[in-house]
Amino acid sequence: MNRSHNNGFGKMRGGFNRLSFYAGIFSFSFMIFFINCKGEENLSPEQKLSAKGKGIYIANCTACHNQNPKLDGAVGPSVANSTFELLKVRIRDGEYPPGYKPKRESKLMTKFPFSDEEISALEAYLKQ
């Protein structure tokens, strides 16, 4: 039984060709990339905005708020259905809009320098 092994692009154990192996890996990676790009094309502008908001929420808010915005977090309350006005004042200034009754009184909220566009995206995600 002669099993050949070559360090180049020749045969590996069992007669498997390295070039075929790398071509398969490349093809699979390209297919995954193509599927992901194609999925994004089919999203409506509202869905794209919400997806951006989800990324902002996961990256910045889930340390205190629950990953599911409809549930209370360890530190922060549920934030589902928050309005743009509430998000803007609370996120940028660490305050509440006049007349707003908070679910929890807290001064722990971290301020973020989010743009109006980022806050709109966050609002779109929280209103799903």
Report the SS3 class of residue 113. coil
Instruction: Provide the residue ranges of all domains of the chain, joining segments of one domain with +.
Output: 1-42, 45-126
Between the alpha carbon of residue 22 and those of residues 9, 13, 28, the distances in Å are: 10, 15, 10
Give domain 45-126's CATH number out of 1.10.760.10, 2.60.40.1120, 3.30.420.10, 3.20.10.10.
Answer: 1.10.760.10
Contact indicator for 50, 124 with CB cutoff of 8 Å: yes
Q: What is the pLDDT of residue 51?
A: 97
Q: What is the pLDDT of residue 103?
A: 85
List pLDDT tens digits, range 36-73: 555 567 899 999 999 999 999 999 999 999 999 999 99
Q: Which residue numbers in the chain have pLDDT < 50?
A: none
Report the SS3 class of residue 120. helix
